[in-house]
Structure 1
Amino acid sequence: MKRAFKTEIKLTNEQQQKLHQTFGICRFLYNHFLAYNKDHYEQFKQGKQPHGFISGMDFDKYINKDLSKQEGYEWIKVVSSKARKKAIMNAHTSFQRFFKGQSKFPRFKKKSHQDVKAYFPKNNTTDWTIERHRVKIPTIGWVRLKEFGYLPTNQRIISGTVSQKADRYFVSVLCEVEEQTNKKV
């Protein structure tokens, strides 16, 4: 059974800068995907395109092969590729929900409303290592926990997300936990 745990973390200035850079690039890619597909959708309505939008996988290929190699866009490759891809796939999901009629047309993310989260999967065995008072986040490094005991130290971690709300930073980890059976005697 999967279970998520969330707690507040304390970052150093360098870690905050790296995280803000990740948030900014993820927000840029999300918005760029929406703008690209909005234009694509307008052409689709006029009959110039066969499909309503391009997939997140195709857009990720476009980012890696074309856009990041253009002059002035080299900074896209600075952060984790998984965090970038997750932002694109989140935008892809919002477009799919729009075309299925489950939600309205996706909105752009604003810098003033910090609603972008950075996703970090567990690629190596040393990623997402949790100790009593700190956690190791991929590409960020060891980060101190503000409150001890909220994150499990003995569970298998699948992935995690770092978010910011009102100048406070939070880490949320997804763990594989054993199901506990309650037996009544």
Structure 2
Amino acid sequence: MRTGRTVLTHRIELKPNQRQEALFRQCVGAARFAYNWALAEWQRQFEAGEKPHEAALRRQFNAMKPVEFPWILDLPKSVPQQAIKNVGRAYQRFFQKQSKFPRFKRRGVHDSARLDNGPGTFAFDGWRIRLPKIGGVRLREELRFDGKPLSATLSREADRWFISIPVEMERPEPVCESQASVGIDLGVSTALTLSTGEKIDSPKPLKKHLQRMKRRSRWHSRKQKGSANRDKSARKLAKLHARIAHVRQDFLHQTTTDLTRRFGLIGIEDLNVRGMMANDKLSQAISDIGFYEFRRQLEYKAALSGGTVVVVDRWFPSSKTCSACGGSCEAMPLSVRQWTCAHCGTEHDRDVNAALNIERQALATVSWTGSHACGEEGTGR
């Protein structure tokens, strides 16, 4: 039984040869050039009282490139076209108050180039992807999703190249792998505390490499601008930043996948991450864990597997409410990690107690009666 269609994106690392890597650099450079040209032309036409539109800008660019930009003819034609379309989307999001005013792109900052899935644009051949005017490029792994590829976005991260493929596919009926429920308390000293009593700490890659990153940043700032040594230093610094991000992403993906497989109902807090990041003493530790990304991955993976994620109100007193009798403690500063209930005398671990209260609140929200939506009896913890 099918339940409609969905789009999933697979990001795969590429293994280009020297010629292909040079073409990749030209592609991201052409995309950046076309984007900046379209943005400047849009602003010029608007100030002149005209009504700019990305379709008209694409026609204008196509008419100009054989004479003024002949080097772009050696690259896939969809690269500058998609970049100009991105300008139109950027203005659309700005007018809808979904983002800030579009800005010009800088070299080396989020370098990318997008190819649409038109006739002859790209195709997969096992462990290779065939790109127009570039040829077959080796992949680190095969495309996992079976469906219609919608586009291909080439991107560079430090000295590595990746390609992101959104695939439109039929989504099978979600099958609940587990009927158990769990509450999750997110914290700084311990990243995740489950209502089962299990505590999961993050690798804290930023904290681990912080001194090394500061040292390399100082070295980089002392290099002469435009020199080969400065370029070499920039590559080393970029590789360190990429490693930190990859370690964090690996932890989040493995943890969220494991939780959505083990539990059919997951309760988490609705944390004010932006407000928490304003705290100078906590912002670095919070960003090192990735609270927002954890919730995002947990929600979409639970939806795919047939589970449910309940977001408990941020004002719910999960830490200072006794999970045994329901009594409340008047004050609970962050320094208190163990406390005893004045009503029933139960000794609590602060984080485990909060996770238990979050689980109960999630169960009450969905009216959990012991029978899962799949029709099987709940297993509990």
Whether the TM-score (by the shorter chain) exceeds 0.5 is yes
Return the offset for 1:126: 8.6
Tell me if 1:2 matches 2:7. Answer: yes
Map 1:97-136 onto structure 2 (within 5 A).
97-113=93-109, 115-124=110-119, 127-131=122-126, 133-136=127-130
Map 1:17-56 onto structure 2 (within 5 A).
17-43=22-48, 49-51=49-51, 54-56=52-54
Query: Which residue of the partner structure matches residue 59 of structure 2?
Result: 61
Map 1:85-104 onto structure 2 (within 5 A).
85-104=81-100
Which has the greater radius of gyration?
2
Query: Which residue of the partner structure matches residue 179 of structure 2?
Result: none
Return the offset for 1:153: 6.9
User: 1:13-34 deviations in whole A, cap 9, x for unaligned?
Assistant: 1111111111111100100111
> Structure 1's 63 and 180: CA in aligned 2 closer, same or farther, altered over 3 A?
same
Question: For residue 68 of structure 1, what is the amino acid of its counterpart?
Answer: K
User: 1:101-137 deviations in whole A, cap 9, x for unaligned?
Assistant: 3332211100131x23222233347932141x32223
Question: For residue 182 of structure 1, what is the amino acid of its counterpart?
Answer: P
Higher relative contact order (CA 8 A, sep 6+): 1
Query: Which residue of the partner structure matches residue 144 of structure 2?
Result: 152
Question: Mean alpha-carbon deviation: is it higher for 118-127 or for 155-164?
Answer: 118-127
1:106 partner SS: coil
Question: For residue 57 of structure 1, what is the amino acid of its counterpart?
Answer: A
Q: Distance in 2 between matches of 1:101 and 1:155?
A: 33
Query: Which residue of the partner structure matches residue 174 of structure 1?
Result: 166
Identity %: 29
User: 1:42-73 deviations in whole A, cap 9, x for unaligned?
Assistant: 33xxxxx143xx111101111111x2133x42
Question: For residue 123 of structure 2, what is the amino acid of its counterpart?
Answer: W
The alignment of Structure 1 onto Structure 2 pairs a total of residues equal to 172
Tell me if 1:161 matches 2:153. Answer: yes
Question: Mean alpha-carbon deviation: is it higher for 31-40 or for 161-170?
Answer: 31-40
Contact 2:30 2:72 (C-alpha < 8 Å) held by counterparts: yes
> Structure 1's 18 and 156: CA in aligned 2 closer, same or farther, altered over 3 A?
same
Question: For residue 60 of structure 2, what is the amino acid of its counterpart?
Answer: Y
Q: TM-score, normalised by structure 2?
A: 0.42
Q: Distance in 2 between matches of 1:58 and 1:126?
A: 22
Q: CA RMSD in A?
A: 2.2
Contact 1:163 1:170 (C-alpha < 8 Å) held by counterparts: yes
Q: Distance in 2 between matches of 1:34 and 1:126?
A: 25
Q: Distance in 2 between matches of 1:19 and 1:138?
A: 12
> Structure 1's 153 and 178: CA in aligned 2 closer, same or farther, altered over 3 A?
closer
Contiguous gaps of at least 5 residues in structure 1: 44-48
Return the offset for 1:8: 0.9
Q: Which one has the bigger helix percentage?
A: 2
Q: Distance in 1 between matches of 2:91 and 2:150?
A: 26
Question: For residue 44 of structure 2, what is the amino acid of its counterpart?
Answer: D
Query: Which residue of the partner structure matches residue 214 of structure 2?
Result: none
